[in-house]
Amino acid sequence: MPNKIAVEARNAVKVFGQGDTSHSALNDVSISIKQGEFFTLLGPSGCGKTTLLRLIAGFETPTSGQILLDGADITALPPNKRAVNTVFQSYALFPHLTVAQNVGFGLQMQGRPKAEVKATTAEMLALVKLDAMADRKISQLSGGQQQRVALARALAPKPKVLLLDEPLSALDAKLRKDMQIELKRLQHETGITFIFVTHDQEEALTMSDRIAVMSAGNILQIGAPRDIYVKPANRFVASFIGETNFLPGTTAPGGVRLDCGATVAVDGSFMPGKVTLAVRPEQVRVQGAGTAGAIPAIITNWVYFGTDTHCYLVLSDGSPVVARLQSPAMGEAGLEIGASVGVTFAPGAAQVLKD
């Protein structure tokens, strides 16, 4: 059954502290994570994503609400009684044990036979390509290697769910990209449900099957990366995932009348009144001044990024707009700072957002 639910949180609330100093880390969060899914909890620091992860791991107990694993209520179970393992942000590897002893620790604690511990440890070390390092001390490994040991250690007991708490945040950019691919591969090969916590939206978009965007203890939107990017539920999601131009305006027949005077056609229905229009930079086109239907703008700056060139513009009411253009298409003609141009949006690109 591909759509069986692996982990479920029902009305999970977590309040830290008491009385006046109490602070709510999670407000009534409900979530269902499917078996075999790569699920990401995404949000800025302090949004409650790590708290939710720790509730699933068992390091915290919810103030109210329930946590279910494979349909069974595990809210009251301690971490060592849950078939869930964690890859910690700091790795938390045992410094007094070798690489192999670290990887075999969970199996040993489960009381598996020695031969099985040995075999599974070897298998896991092969999986993360650390066979040659089995007898090293942890302190002799690089950051990336430690990361792999942490992964192998958490995967060795074959948990139902693997929790990953910002595991890539300590790595440099290059290693990070490699580990993203590596993690996807591991998830594919083991078939284990991954719950991944990150504040890096790019990481979330490239790796996840589904993403839950969190802010201030609430889940704002759950969906596939494309859905979240193309149809953000509100202004926070739109600004947190990718870059977005926000243009103030008022509803008008057939669309939105921007503060600069131009009217933009928008699909769908919305409440009349003051609104914000969101347009992704790659959906903005820069054309010659006076093009039919184009909004007049002035180029303030442009920056060359290789494949892309970012063009910074300003509308007549002072609203800034960024356009991400393909570099070759642009050529010589065009981007002079101070030049008057016309701006159009790709059909269906402009969206009205709730604040």
Q: To the nearest whole angstrom, how small is the minimum distance from the Cβ of residue 350 to other proteins?
A: 47
Question: How many CB atoms within 10 Å of residue 267?
Answer: 11
Given the complex with other proteins, which of 86 and 276 has the nearer CB atom? 86
Q: To the nearest whole angstrom, how small is the minimum distance from the Cβ of residue 84 to other proteins?
A: 8
State how far the alpha carbon of 231 is from the alpha carbons of 178, 301, 355, in Å.
29, 29, 14
DSSP-assigned letter for residue 115: H
Report the SS3 class of residue 264.
Answer: strand
CB contact at 8 A, 316 and 279 = no
Given the complex with other proteins, which of 58 and 223 has the nearer CB atom? 58
Q: To the nearest whole angstrom, how small is the minimum distance from the Cβ of residue 209 to other proteins?
A: 24
The dihedral sign for the CA sequence 252, 258, 264, 265: negative
303-310 long-range CB contacts below 8 Å, 24 or more apart?
A: 309/335, 310/281
**Which residues are 13's β-sheet partners?**
64
Q: Where along the sequence are the contacts to other proteins (CB under 8 A)? A: 57-59, 78-81, 84-86, 88, 90, 92-97, 101, 105-106, 109-110, 153-154, 157
Q: To the nearest whole angstrom, how small is the minimum distance from the Cβ of residue 86 to other proteins?
A: 5
Given the complex with other proteins, which of 16 and 304 has the nearer CB atom? 16
Given the complex with other proteins, which of 100 and 183 has the nearer CB atom? 100
227-255 core/surface letters (b: 16 or more CB in 10 A; e: else): ebbeebbbbbbbebbbebbbbebebeeeb
Q: To the nearest whole angstrom, how small is the minimum distance from the Cβ of residue 152 to other proteins?
A: 12
Given the complex with other proteins, which of 106 and 232 has the nearer CB atom? 106
